Chain A
Amino acid sequence: MIELNDVRFSWSGGEPLLAIASLQVARGERVFMHGPSGSGKSTLLGLLGGVLEPQRGSVRIDGFELSAVKRSLRDRFRAEHIGFIFQMFNLIPYLSVLDNVALPARFSEQRRKRAADISGSLYDEARRLLAAVGLDPTVYADRQATQLSQGQQQRVAAARALFGRPQLIIADEPTSSLDADTRERFITLLSSECRASEATLIFVSHDASLRSQFDRQIALADINSAARLETAA
């Protein structure tokens, strides 16, 4: 599913930030990626999302060579195949909860079609996902995103990431703004929903205590040789 080979990245000719000789993630695998802040997590996610372009090496997702195509194609690929969940403030404040969940449909033809195939209509699929993440659509669908609590907002973000069944879900510290109790429940929910939609999950956190819930864990420091290269030089 994800295949990184000999990838190097640095900001505009500076010191290399990321140097990954090899990284493989299988389809449907749920991976916990662990690393302290500043270890290159955001950069790696940028590369996976096709927002950043490596100076060297190849980034393949689902057989698609991200690092070899133009930016607009990478943007399109991201829209079609990847769902993102961020640390906090994931929602567009001026859209309703339902519109936030269905937002990917505005930019991706495939996800729009798939969502409609699953539930009949875009909004029915959005309601189904809301219910799946534990938010009663009859109560929350028409609320403004800003009226929800942090935990609820993260769950809406998860529903949006899953909308239209993208093959890859990338979650960047999605639980760091939640308390311990909600955190557990959120991860369980996300894992089971990913399993249900057969999506690969990359879950990034600096909190190593969460790793037990995942198929596999990767410490970024182990695969990123940039720091070692630096000291060697």
Chain B
Amino acid sequence: MTLLPLAVRSLWNRRATAGLTILSIAISVALLLSVRQFSEQARSAFASTISGTDLIVGARSGDINLLLYSVFHLGSATNNVSWPFYERLAKHRQVAWAIPLSLGDSHRGFRVLGTNDDYYRHYRFGDDRKIEFAAGRAPADLYDAVIGAEVARTLGYKAGEQIVIAHGAGSTSFAEHADKPFTVVGVIAPTGTPIDRTVHVSLAAIQAIHLDWQSGMPAPKGQRVSAQDARQQDLTPDSVTAILIGLKSKIDTFQIQRSINEYRGEPLLAILPGVTLQNLWSIVGNVEVALLAVGLLVTAAGLVCLLVAILASLNERRREMAILRSVGARPAHIFALLVSEAVGVAALGMLVGVLCTYLALAIARPLVQHTYGLLLQWPAWSLTDLAILCGFLTAATLAGAIPAWQAYRRSLADGLTIRL
């Protein structure tokens, strides 16, 4: 191969232009690969928001709606599940555990979740990870609260902090349960799930702060129940917002789901979290497609850059082509020389792009893990990525063939005449 050293030296001679072209290709390839990695990891992080739970039960509404408010703490329930039903379910012979969830209040924009000890014992997310405490412990007293990692970071809370819960889910609520303050007793280690943005209290606490409330308003002064008096009252709730269920045998899942959905006592809905997560992703996933489209367009722009750089150099290289022809280069040599230059630039750009993707990830990894508790994986190159890279190289070859063909035609027409 006598042309390769020529191509290399020719590129080196135009290293400023070639370098910039390589850079633009590297950027576009890195963007495309990063978008791919991002959406792959977002998808898997999304899918691992909740695991180990076989069924989610709530009042009858849409299955995505139920998933959104019970797991992602987004939106609100239209109705509740009665306490007696929860008790029946918890004692059911096929049910291993049932976690009651009570939502509706908030603390400075973060949702407050009322639940019981089963939550800390049985709730799973990601790859069968359970809730762990970065500091403190699970709530024991009525007015104990446990906060997620992001709550702790954003509001600067530590164990021992006194907090007041606001009625409703808004970030600026004027109706506060100021008479019954809570003490932060624990901070949950980052999970990368909505848990990080949640304040956890006991079910009884939710009941206690609402004892003297009537239709969403605090009672008039004389009828109020003090924090101490509340302890003496029966704090069994009337209802819960949703129930997470773990079954003793996964085989029973569909049977239990059906019998809950057909339950005549109250209108209920049981969903399989995995299936509904997938349905939800198919909606959210459009963003993924859009991002990928943007990535592909940017990559196409990178190729156009390559094409422009070579086409622009053709005129000034006309003389060079004639010299090569005169010493015996055939038009096919000229064609091969230009194509190999294009492919060389594209391949180098691609290599730098892949390295940039790793570099970006290496920089982002500790930041993301610290901030979101999300452990970014090193790129697991799939066949799709490989296909993308191969496709890119093919496209670069084709793009390089355009100016090469032009030079080929021209060198036939010009012959040995050197045109200025």
Contact = CB atoms under 8 A, between A and B. Distances in A.
Interface string A40-55: 0010011001011000
A94 B326 contact: no
B323 A92 contact: yes
A79 interface: yes
Contacts of B325: 51
A84 interface: yes
Contact of B418 (A49, A86, A103): A86
A141 B13 CA distance: 18
Interface string B291-328: 00000000000000000000000000001101111111
B330 A72 contact: yes
A160 interface: yes
B327 A104 contact: yes
Interface in A91-139: 91-95, 99, 103-104, 106-108
Contact count band on A: 20 to 34
Contact of A107 (B329, B331, B415): B329
A108 B415 contact: no
Nearest to A103: B327
A171 B326 CA distance: 11
B232 interface: no
Interface in B316-369: 319-320, 322-333
Interface residues of B, number: 26
B6 interface: yes
Contacts of A95: 6, 9
A113 B329 CA distance: 18
Given A51-B415, A107-B2, A92 B320 contact: yes
B64 interface: no
Contact of B330 (A52, A75, A84, A92): A75
Nearest to A111: B328
Contacts of B331: 75
A155 interface: no
Contact of A93 (B13, B332, B415): B13
A107 B9 contact: no
Q: Which of the listed residues B2, B10, B330 has the most CB atoms from chain A within 10 Å of its own CB?
A: B330
A112 B330 CA distance: 17
A89 B327 contact: no
A79 B330 CA distance: 9
6 contacts: A45-B416, A72-B332, A84-B327, A86-B416, A99-B9, A104-B327
- Closest CB pairs A-B (n = 5): A79-B328, A94-B13, A107-B328, A51-B415, A84-B326
Interface of A: 42, 45-46, 49, 51-52, 72, 75-76, 78-80, 84, 86-87, 89-95, 99, 103-104, 106-108, 160, 172
Interface of B: 2-3, 6, 9-10, 12-14, 319-320, 322-333, 415-418
